[in-house]
Structure 1
Amino acid sequence: MPKVVLITGGSSGIGKAIGTYLLSKNYIVYGTSRNPEKYVDTTKFPLLEMEVTQPETVKDSVAELLKKEGKIDVLINNAGVGITGPIEETPSDEIEKAFATNLYGPIHVIKAVLPSMRHQGDGTIINITSIAGYMGLPYRGIYSATKAALEITIEALRMEIKQFGIKMTNVAPGDFATNIAASRYHAPIEDSSPYKKAYGNTLKLMNEHVDAGEDPTKMAKVVHEIIETKNPKVHYKVGSFLQKFSVVLKKILPDKTYERMLLKHYNLK
């Protein structure tokens, strides 16, 4: 019997790539979007209306899917938002929105699917985080913080639900060629800002990295392998060699040495 997969944020980017790939492997795939009517002709799988920051819409969407299919075998928490800017100049409400989507959102969806998975005695939950969550990146500190918080939360939750036969893991992508750069919140580069030059240069570099990113199908293949794995690891990292190696360096280098490496990478003093 085919597995039923729910992918949050399935209308574009990594979520869409994962859904399309899993569909080709004969899974039953549903995605979610805040505005599914906008994507009627752009995805090969149906989209449910869901706003992950609003628990009631999450519960309604999960209930709708359970009514249609009778089960949810796999949840892929992919919905997220990007945010850049000097922390001093980033509006507090934008910081709260980032945490609401990238941290609280996945928690809301996990809470909604756990009862049915516990009843089944089986299930797999895959959370899409970011390699940026393994380090504090200049002008991306809030984004790094949201993803780091999700990584740690899942480490704990994974142990709590193990007794029910439910598997959980994190997959941290590096830079992939998606539309995240266009859709993320950018604190404006103000002429009067003391961060104008440094932030402007860093923002340009970040966007170039995304534009030159890898094919998101690579992420889809890793996710498929995880679903088919009997005992998934706690963490997976998907990206270029340098991006994955940067996480290793973070563990072994002295803090200030690693900081100097980042400063040099972003051309910061």
Structure 2
Amino acid sequence: MSKVVLITGGSSGIGKSIGEFLHAKGFVVYGTSRNPEKVSNSVFPLVALDVRNADSIKTAVNKVIETSGRLDIVINNAGVGITGPLEEIPIEEIKNNFETNFFGPIEVMKAVLPQMRKQKSGLIINITSIAAYMGLPYRSVYSASKGALELITEALRMEVKQFGIEITNVAPGDFATNIASGRYHAPVLKDSAYEKAYGNTLAAMNEHVDAGSNPNEMAEAVFKIIQKDKPKVHYKVGVFMQKFSIVLKRALPDKVYEKILMNYYKL
């Protein structure tokens, strides 16, 4: 029997690549989108879901279960970027980022766990970020929301092991997707104390995304994880230096690592 997969944020970027890859491998794939009627090129069905709305999540999950009779794998991929000096980011945008990147995935997990307990099996993969492992300048909120999801996953996977359910994190580095166009950018304000430093850092971040790896690498990584009986707690997917940056953070004194980051971002 083909396993049933639900991928939030499956209409573009990493989510779409994962969905297409798994669909080609014979999985029964459902993606989600806030406006599935606007997407015409998906090779797998899309259901309406807004991770900021708990009722929307429950409706989408119930629809998948009613259609396929089970739910084996859930990939919490929906997320948004956010950049800016923390002092200048409106609190409403900070809350929206956490609603999407943190509280949304929690609501998705709450919605699917009863079915997985009933099946006595299931796998949840939370897509976080290498940025979750460190506080990055002008990406403070993004690092915080993704870092919080990493820690929630660590705790929850211990709570649900007794039910035969596995949960893991996959932290991607920079991939060539449309995340830069969809994220919230605090404007580079004239005469702001952060104008020059933030402007330079923002330009560098956009270059990194444009020159990022092929999202199919994430799809292949997720496929390999699905094949494992006992997935690890954390996986990192990206170029060597991005993954190595996490090793350096653990090995170096805090101020030395901070200096490396400041040099990298020319601060």
Deviation at 1:42, TM superposition (A): 1.7
Structure 1 moving runs of 4+ over 4 Å:
none
Deviation at 1:236, TM superposition (A): 0.1
Partner of 1:252: 251
Which amino acid in 2 is paired with 1:101?
T
Deviation at 1:58, TM superposition (A): 0.3
Helix, strand or coil: the match of 1:209? helix
Give a deviation string over 1:10-61, Cα, whole Å, max 9, x none: 000000000000001000000000010111x221001000001110000000
Partner of 1:205: 204
| 2:195 maps to 1:196 | yes
Which amino acid in 1 is paired with 2:13?
G
Helix, strand or coil: the match of 1:191? coil
Helix, strand or coil: the match of 2:188? coil
**How many angstroms apart in 2 are the aligned matches of 1:230 and 1:110?**
20
**How many angstroms apart in 1 are the aligned matches of 2:51 and 2:189?**
32
Give a deviation string over 1:78-122, Cα, whole Å, max 9, x none: 000000000000000000000000000000000000000000000
Deviation at 1:192, TM superposition (A): 2.1
Which amino acid in 1 is paired with 2:29?
V
Which amino acid in 2 is paired with 1:130?
S
Which amino acid in 2 is paired with 1:195?
Y
Helix, strand or coil: the match of 2:230? coil
Helix, strand or coil: the match of 2:75? strand
Identify unmatched segments of 5+ residues in structure 1. none
Partner of 1:25: 25
Partner of 2:149: 150
Helix, strand or coil: the match of 1:233? coil
Task: Count residues with an aligned counterpart.
Answer: 267
Partner of 1:169: 168
Helix, strand or coil: the match of 1:148? helix
Seq. identity, %: 63
**How many angstroms apart in 1 are the aligned matches of 2:42 and 2:143?**
29
**How many angstroms apart in 2 are the aligned matches of 1:192 and 1:82?**
25
The 5-angstrom pairing of residues 10-21 of structure 1 reads: 10-21=10-21
Which amino acid in 1 is paired with 2:170?
V
Partner of 1:124: 123
Q: Report the TM-score, using the length of structure 1 for normalisation.
A: 0.99
Give a deviation string over 1:161-204, Cα, whole Å, max 9, x none: 00000011000000000000011000001102110000000000
Helix, strand or coil: the match of 1:125? strand
Identify unmatched segments of 5+ residues in structure 2. none
Q: Report the TM-score, using the length of structure 2 for normalisation.
A: 1.00
Partner of 1:73: 72
**How many angstroms apart in 2 are the aligned matches of 1:148 and 1:127?**
11
**How many angstroms apart in 1 are the aligned matches of 2:206 and 2:233?**
29
**How many angstroms apart in 2 are the aligned matches of 1:91 and 1:45?**
37
